[in-house]
């Protein structure tokens, strides 16, 4: 039993670990941030690399800028699409006024990234995608809003729905508040696509967006002019890690082929196909490369996504069944491996704490503090230490599992039937014999209850592993949130819920098996 699980853990770790000494054979790891255009550009990168004979490992939907850039620094990923303004302000932490024009911003980030980290900005793709602060047209008409200065005069009565990344960035809300003395009545953190729905429904009054978003046209929004020129230029370009730049000139040459080919109109049209028409990212990326003449003909019209409004959810599930099965298997692997390691750690510690009962509560409470940390925060903390992928996901899941198992092990052994323990002692049994033959069997159902709790928590928490490229059922949830695709979200959420129920039922059966007959 133990050997197969240990082998599975070793296989998981090997798959998820950053590239090691065999860099020459390693695939190019292409990542994206969790919004539509980033998914699309990353898929364009990946398909072009594959067309040039290179192997590719996709890691879509990494968390916000800090997570993606940390992964690039550590070598856990090789390339992702980034914007010069983001590099200038969010990563280099320079002031917007220092940016100058688009060429100045590109030269600045290119020089500083290479000097500090060996990271290269390749040639810009040909379009800028700046922030677009938008309102509904009736709101703009009633308050006479044309510019951000106009918005600042009325912000005190307006509700803003902003992405979490924008809220904390120097070139986001923080900088806008300084530049325009802009303070909203309320600020709600919302997902990239959800914020458009919230604005259209009147749940918020102002959102942040991007100038190439297809959803701006869909909802007929008014984009406010940045009259104080606060936002720097945001030219899109492939951002390449030091390892790839040093070891894989073929990959660099392939990505450089995209330089200057994607103008604003083309990118907006591509985004609209993904965000509004609901076409698959892979199909749109394939067509884009064919239209640019970088790969062969796309071979006919693009197949519509099952997320089309006329397609049923059941047909979507049927179409995606192979993908869902693969992701569910990875989810099960993550949960099983982390739970196995957590049991190996927490049960012996819980048993040992029974011998030092006076200090046990302090230790268990200390471990319990881990339960208060948001899952994505714990995963983000792991990236500088362990990179991205399976390894940090397993580490985080193990830490989340320790508390319920350790607590129940200690409590079950400590509170084992006093009469049975006294009888065993009267019969001359040693402490070790009493623990092994009396206390531990009596505590087994309580220990299993803790393992059941940890398993269910793991199933839910493992969905966050998608933010660091570990796969699992969180992938369609994250992508669906970014693309406003309810079917995609449910295709991950429903199997995850069913998996939690199944795991709990399975462990409930194990709990009944280990329960001593005399306690029935």
**Residue 315 vs residue 310, higher pLDDT:** 315
The three-point CA angle 506-397-441 to 5° equals 45
Q: What percent of the chain has pLDDT over 90?
A: 47
Q: Residue 451: its pLDDT value, please?
A: 94
How many other β-carbons are positioned within 10 Å of the β-carbon of residue 408? 24
Of 343-347, 362-366, 385-389, where does the model show the most confidence? 343-347
Report helix, strand or coil for 457. Answer: helix
Average pLDDT, the chain: 85
pLDDT at 8 over 80: no
Asked whether the domain spanning 321-519 has the same topology as the one spanning 23-128+234-305, the reply is: no
Rounded to an integer, the average pLDDT of 122-146 is 94
pLDDT at 13 over 70: no
- CA–CA distance, 33 with 99 (Å, rounded to integer): 23
Q: What's the 3-state SS for 308-321?
A: CCCCCHHHHHHHCH
- CA–CA distance, 255 with 241 (Å, rounded to integer): 13
- CA–CA distance, 483 with 405 (Å, rounded to integer): 38
Q: Which helix (H) or strand (E) holds 379?
A: helix 375-386
Q: Report CA-CA distances (Å) from 185 to 153, 157, 163, 353.
A: 12, 5, 17, 51
pLDDT tens sequence across 392-451 = 889 889 998 999 999 999 888 888 778 887 887 888 888 788 777 887 888 888 999 999
Q: Residue 519: its pLDDT value, please?
A: 56
Q: Residue 343: its pLDDT value, please?
A: 94
Q: Collect all residues with Cβ–Cβ distance below 8 Å to 413 and sequence separation of at least 6.
A: 350, 351, 354, 435, 439, 440, 443
* Domain 321-519, CATH number (from 1.10.10.10, 1.10.3720.10, 2.60.40.10, 3.30.1490.20): 1.10.3720.10
Task: Tell whether pTM > 0.85.
Answer: no
pLDDT-derived band at 303 (thresholds 50, 70, 90) equals: very low
Of 158-172, 181-195, 252-266, where does the model show the most confidence? 252-266
**Residue 301 vs residue 286, higher pLDDT:** 286
Q: Residue 31: its pLDDT value, please?
A: 93
- CA–CA distance, 345 with 293 (Å, rounded to integer): 56
pLDDT tens sequence across 233-249 = 899 999 999 999 999 99
What are the backbone angles phi and psi of residue 131, rounded to the nearest 5°? -65, 140
**Residue 297 vs residue 202, higher pLDDT:** 202
**Residue 15 vs residue 295, higher pLDDT:** 295
Q: Residue 311: its pLDDT value, please?
A: 52
Instruction: Place domain 131-223 in its CATH homologous superfamily.
Output: Osmoprotection protein (prox); domain 2 (3.40.190.120)
**Residue 160 vs residue 6, higher pLDDT:** 160
Q: Residue 71: its pLDDT value, please?
A: 87
Q: Residue 63: its pLDDT value, please?
A: 76
Domain ranges of the chain: 23-128+234-305, 131-223, 321-519
Q: Residue 145: its pLDDT value, please?
A: 95
- CA–CA distance, 197 with 203 (Å, rounded to integer): 9
Q: Which helix (H) or strand (E) holds 512?
A: helix 486-514
* Domain 23-128+234-305, CATH number (from 3.40.190.10, 3.90.1150.10, 3.40.50.720, 3.40.50.300): 3.40.190.10
> Alpha-carbon torsion 173, 196, 470, 74, what sign?
negative
Nearest to 397 by CA among 325, 297, 330, 326: 330
């Amino acid at each position: 039993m133990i050997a197969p699980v240990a082998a599975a853990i070793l296989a998981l770790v090997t798959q998820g670990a950053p590239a090691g000494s065999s860099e020459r054979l390693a695939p190019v790891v292409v990542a994206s941030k969790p919004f539509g255009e980033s998914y699309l550009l990353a898929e364009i990168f990946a398909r072009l690399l594959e067309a040039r004979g290179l192997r590719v490992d996709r890691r879509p939907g990494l968390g916000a800028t800090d997570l993606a850039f940390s992964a690039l620094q550590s070598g856990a990923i090789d390339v992702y699409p980034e914007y010069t303004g983001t590099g200038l302000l969010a990563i280099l932490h320079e002031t917007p006024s220092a940016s100058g024009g688009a060429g100045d911003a590109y030269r600045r980030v290119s020089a500083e990234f290479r000097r500090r980290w060996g990271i290269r900005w390749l040639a810009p793709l040909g379009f800028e995608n700046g922030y677009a602060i938008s309102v509904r047209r009736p709101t703009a008409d009633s308050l006479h809003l044309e510019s951000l200065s106009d918005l600042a005069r009325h912000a005190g009565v307006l509700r803003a729905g902003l992405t979490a990344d924008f809220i904390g960035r120097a070139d986001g809300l923080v900088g806008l508040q300084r530049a325009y003395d802009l303070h909203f009545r309320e600020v709600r953190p919302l997902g990239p696509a959800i914020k458009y729905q919230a604005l259209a429904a009147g749940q918020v009054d102002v959102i942040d967006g991007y100038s190439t978003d297809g959803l701006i046209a869909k909802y007929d929004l008014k984009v406010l002019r940045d009259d104080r020129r606060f936002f720097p230029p945001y030219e899109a370009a492939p951002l390449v890690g030091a390892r790839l730049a040093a070891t894989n000139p073929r990959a660099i040459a392939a990505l450089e082929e995209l330089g200057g080919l994607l103008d604003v109109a083309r990118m907006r049209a591509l985004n609209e196909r993904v965000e509004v028409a609901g076409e698959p990212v892979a199909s749109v990326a394939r067509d884009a490369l064919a239209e640019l003449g970088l790969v062969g003909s796309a071979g006919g019209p693009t197949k519509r996504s099952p997320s089309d409004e006329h397609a049923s959810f059941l047909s979507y599930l049927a179409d995606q069944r192979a993908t869902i099965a693969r992701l569910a298997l990875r989810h099960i692997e993550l949960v099983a491996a982390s739970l196995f390691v957590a049991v190996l750690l927490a049960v012996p510690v819980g048993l040992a704490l029974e011998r030092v009962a006076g200090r046990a509560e302090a230790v268990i409470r200390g471990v319990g503090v881990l339960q208060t940390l948001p899952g994505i925060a714990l995963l983000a903390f792991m990236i500088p230490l362990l990179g991205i992928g399976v390894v940090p996901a397993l580490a985080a899941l193990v830490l989340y599992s320790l508390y319920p198992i350790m607590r129940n092990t200690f409590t079950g052994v400590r509170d084992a039937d006093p009469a049975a323990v006294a009888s065993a002692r009267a019969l001359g049994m040693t402490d070790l014999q009493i623990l092994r033959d009396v206390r531990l069997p009596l505590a087994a159902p309580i220990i299993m209850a803790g393992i059941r709790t940890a398993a269910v928590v793991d199933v839910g928490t493992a969905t966050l592993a998608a933010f660091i490229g570990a796969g699992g059922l969180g992938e369609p949830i994250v992508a669906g949130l970014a693309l406003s695709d309810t079917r995609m979200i449910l295709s991950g959420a429903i199997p995850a819920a069913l998996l939690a129920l199944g795991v709990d039922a399975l462990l409930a059966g194990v709990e009944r098996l280990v329960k001593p007959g005399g306690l029935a």
